[in-house]
Amino acid sequence: MRKGVVIFLSINVLIIIFLIRSVFTLLTLLVEDGSADSIHSAEIPAPNSPLIDSRPQLIPKIIHQTYVNDSVPEHWREAQKSCVDLHEDYEYKLWTDAKSRELIATEYPWFLSTFDNYSQSIQRADAIRYFVLAHFGGIYIDLDDGCNRRLDPLLSYPAWVRRTKPTGISNDAMGAVPHHPFFTLVIESLIPYNRNWKLPYITVMYSTGPLFLSVIWQEYKKGRGRTVAELGAQVGNVVGGGADVAKGLGRWDGSESGRVRVLMGDDGWLPGVGHVVGLWSGSAARREKEKRRARARAWKGGEDWLGCTKDSFPKATEQGALRTAGKPS
């Protein structure tokens, strides 16, 4: 075989290997069902069950939501009010654009330039939800997601996310203790993943949106990021104090503390997440969100996306389910 042909074939093989390695994590999402980390229905106490109070409540009682300013649109107020009214003993934080930037500038100045220079508002709305969970802990809920019942049972898991169909996880509802290693990895990955893919929808999805979160989830499960032991001082100060974490809170053992649990969708054993853990997605709000998604796919420039999640995947559950730490070292 001629030397030139060998060189040509070798270069092509290397390119193919590079491309496969580049998209390997994306490919693994096609076969990842999340069942190994799923929250089973048997784990969720019934409403008003005494078991709720007997379980360790690790996640702080904080509900985070985001919008451009304090004037939440009328069509989202019902969902917002349902969560606030059911959780009067929770701290409620509405992260406006100004408050979001202030947090980043004060606590994460290493990220401020990236935050300010995102081309789309939705990228900042996506990013801030990861930062507030990593910093304060609590539960993040999209403004068009409402609550049917109290979310106390979910406070017993150090971190949880929601499964979407056909693959991956969503960023519309998430919970975590402060400085959880998964969300620490998420915020540390935002700068490396800040790339312009020319198509705005893909750029948003893969830089800050659910596709980005799903890829980091896969990387985390393969061992990327710092461990709970390495973050122990930060985590321990929040949930009970350093060495007392494992002793005083049995769920913070080696198998559970760094784990990210997954709320599954309509998979047979769960009769709608709304009935079990209390989240719903209203039809009017969902239609409004779908309109924005359609506009985003056809976007040509100049439109701001404020306070809404850009899912590339359908919701994990449909009607009746979701009515609907410092600088890296």
Better-predicted residue by pLDDT, 214 or 267: 214
- Looking at residue 285, what is its pLDDT? 46
* Predicted confidence (pLDDT) per residue in 278-326, tens digit: 566 654 445 445 444 444 443 333 332 223 333 333 333 332 333 344 4
**Domain covering 34-323, topology:** Spore Coat Polysaccharide Biosynthesis Protein SpsA; Chain A (3.90.550)
Statement: the pTM of the whole predicted model exceeds 0.85: no
Amino acid at 70: D
C-alpha to C-alpha distance for 140 and 268, rounded to whole angstroms: 26
Place of tokens 């609907």: 324
Above 80 in pLDDT, residue 203? yes
- Looking at residue 248, what is its pLDDT? 33
Instruction: Identify the bridge partners of residue 145 per DSSP, sorted by sequence position.
Output: 281
C-alpha to C-alpha distance for 45 and 53, rounded to whole angstroms: 10
* Predicted confidence (pLDDT) per residue in 3-59, tens digit: 766 676 667 666 665 445 545 555 565 556 667 788 877 777 777 777 777 778 899
Distances (CA, A) of 70 to 115, 128, 206, 309: 20, 16, 28, 18
Better-predicted residue by pLDDT, 52 or 143: 143
Give the strands of the sheet with 261-263, arranged side by side. 91-95, 62-66, 138-141, 169-176, 159-163, 261-263
Banded pLDDT at 273 (limits 50, 70, 90): very low
Q: 240 — alpha (psi -120 to 50), left (phi > 0) or beta?
A: left
- Looking at residue 221, what is its pLDDT? 86
* Predicted confidence (pLDDT) per residue in 81-120, tens digit: 999 999 999 999 999 999 999 999 999 999 999 999 999 9
- Looking at residue 97, what is its pLDDT? 97
C-alpha to C-alpha distance for 274 and 41, rounded to whole angstroms: 12
Q: What is the mean pLDDT of the chain?
A: 74
When mean pLDDT is compared across 184-188, 231-235, 251-255, 305-309, the lowest value belongs to 305-309
Above 70 in pLDDT, residue 179? yes
